Amino acid sequence: MPAPLTMSSPRGLVSRAWSLSPALTLGTGAMLLGLVASAIGLAVDPRQLVGEPVWLKPTKFYASLAIYDVTLLYLFHVLESPERRLRPIGLILSLCGLQELAVITIQAARGMRSHFSVGTTLDRLLSASMGVTVVVLWVTMMVLAGVLMRARLRDGVLASALRLGVMVSVVGMGLAFFMSVPHGAQRTELAAGRALSEQGGHSFGGEDGGPGLPGVGWSTTVGDMRPAHFFGIHALQGLPLLSALLGRTRRSEWANRAIVRAAGVAWLGLTLVLGMQALRGQPVIHWDAVGLMGLGTVLLMSLATLAAHRAPRAQLVGAEGLGGAPRLE
């Protein structure tokens, strides 16, 4: 079982991270530096882009990728697989993150949208490079998911959390496809033979740039795929965190595993419901009957997953042998 990581020695943490994946370690440092720089840009650059500060998107992405790289380093620590298996995965994931943030930063400095601008040759090249990067990232995460499925972990609760987390994360990444293809008025423009200045977008049922939630900018008037995308990809952090919190309780391992699996089903279901909410043109703060039915279905599936788990037979027999009814912790 891997030695626990503590915050008592930052140098030791960096040394351990470097031994696991130099690329991810350097990538994490680059993301943190980029986060500071983009935060400064938020403070000093008053420009707006589709209704948001031009440096808001780089700030969010640098923070998200920093957290993701740290999570991957922890995952590598837990797996304890031979370095020859994990280092190439870490290198590819780190390079993908660096390439994507480089394009986002360049486009923010130019006052252009990073993922959707296709009006100039440079815009098209940058957008195409990001498209290739996203595909490579997605495939690599599926490879990592395969490694994780075959790995033997002593902590069954953490194993369930990591496996479910990476699977939901892959689904969350896949939802980005819907934002990359022409939709809405763009299809009409293409059908008329007119060139597009932007291709794709995160809004459905309206245009990007309308009123949004404070801090994140998610639309409050039309469908927005960003909540589903964000929620899905961060299952890889949320579910292991839940397993760590459950580990501090006095519940049995099987009970904690049941809770984690039920939470994983709920996380996946909510990711898909949020995605359908966006595609139907419904904002994340407004839920109609169809959306509420989706939420209800997710809740029922999660509760069914929880109910499907039973205490191990040995534990039930032991409780009965003491003259009492089986006790579920």
Contact 64, 112 (CB under 8 A): no
**Whole-number Cα distances in Å, 133 to 59, 143, 182, 194, 261:** 20, 15, 19, 27, 31
Q: Which pLDDT belongs to residue 178?
A: 92
Q: Which residues of the chain have pLDDT under 50?
A: 1, 3, 7, 314, 316-329
Q: Which pLDDT belongs to residue 45?
A: 95
Name the 3-class secondary structure at 216. Answer: coil
Domain residue ranges of the chain, discontinuous segments joined by +: 15-152, 155-181+197-311
Q: Which pLDDT belongs to residue 216?
A: 84
pLDDT tens-place string over residues 103-150: 999 999 999 988 888 889 999 999 999 889 999 999 999 998 888 888
CA 43 to the chain's CA centroid = 27
**Whole-number Cα distances in Å, 252 to 4, 259, 314:** 21, 11, 13
The amino acid present at 201, given as its one-letter code, is G
Q: Which pLDDT belongs to residue 310?
A: 65
The fold of 15-152 is: Four Helix Bundle (Hemerythrin (Met), subunit A) (1.20.120)
Q: Which pLDDT belongs to residue 313?
A: 54
CA distance 312 to 37: 53
CA distance 327 to 329: 6
CA distance 172 to 271: 7
Q: What is the pTM of this model?
A: 0.82
